Amino acid sequence: MERIAFFDTKPYDREYFDKNNKNYRIHYYEDKLTEETASLAEGCSAVCAFVNDSIGSRTIDELVRRGVRLLLMRCAGYNNIDLKYASGKLTILRVPAYSPYAVAEHAMALLLLLNRKIHKSYIRTRDHNFSINGLTGFDLHGRTAGVVGTGKIGRAFIDICLGFGMKVLAYDPYPDNRYAESRGFDYVSKEELFEKSDIISLHCPLTKETRYIIDEESLARMKKTAYIINTSRGPLIDSDALLRALREKRIGAAGLDVYEEETDFFYEDRSGDIIDDETLSLLISLPNVIITSHQAFLTEEALSAIASVTLSNADAYFAGKENLENEVKA
């Protein structure tokens, strides 16, 4: 029976992988995968990693030296892997899609919370304060949503927005005009999207082209009332530029499920610590910002799909199948 070293384990990971696992001995570790912790994979043929593990050249060398041949990513993203260095050393398989609805619905939840001040109302009523002063929002119906990226998650978010009676503008370097026509929305340039949208929601992968797609220049194009939602990858947004725009009241609000320097914070209980990331601390302190801890994927359906596909990826690899469906290559 092949052995898999499972890194950055949380209780929900163990629950859903144990439910689905029939073929492997899984060794669960709470530590993130780094060059220092790679030694925990000694004697394992595969490792299973997540979005905030650090899989650079030194980590790859340590894994290979210990006999690891397979890297299973239990997520869609792989920007934390040195793919070029891994080429010829490790086979890398990922979960390209688990539940687009989970992420899209969380993006809308962030928007609704920000707009209708539900988080503030909840805190007030817990203290028996039933005043509604300062809780005014706006109708989403008739507003313009700008969706950056029209893959499965972006499309799910578009459908939600259309259900609210919103107008949708979209940007994607590979537009699907037939899909847009069938749904009744328009593809436009990034610049036009930033200028005309009331809500801007990011649903694109992190690449060289999309890194800091939200920066000083794009922020300057936006309406002063614009809401920015990011449930994709933290480095899509220049956090310092976003903070400045928010503090100078050049945009309306931000709902973030990801942050560009999240690795040391997200998924961990840091409630007893002083956070030494000034930008993150200041963003959290703003009344028009909501930050959640990279939880948009966290539904029963998504967790079940992640476990099932990850283990199926392992099955295909160890069965010696060629042309592995979910392989990632440089």
Q: Which residues are catalytic?
A: 233, 262, 294
Let me know: does 291 contact 284? Beta carbons within 8 Å: yes
DSSP symbols for 117-172: THHHHHHHHHTT----TT------TT-EEEEE--SHHHHHHHHHHHHTT-EEEEE-
Token look-up 């998924």 returns 267
Give whole-number Cα distances, 166 to 197, 198, 210, 225, in Å: 11, 10, 25, 16
DSSP symbols for 55-70: B-HHHHHHHHHTT--E
Report the distance separating Cα 149 and Cα 135, nearest Å. 31
Report the distance separating Cα 120 and Cα 126, nearest Å. 10
Which residue, among 107, 150, 146, 162, has the nearest Cα to 251 in the 3D structure?
A: 146
Joined tokens for residue 120: 């503030």
Give whole-number Cα distances, 141 to 6, 166, 191, 198, 199, in Å: 45, 5, 23, 11, 12
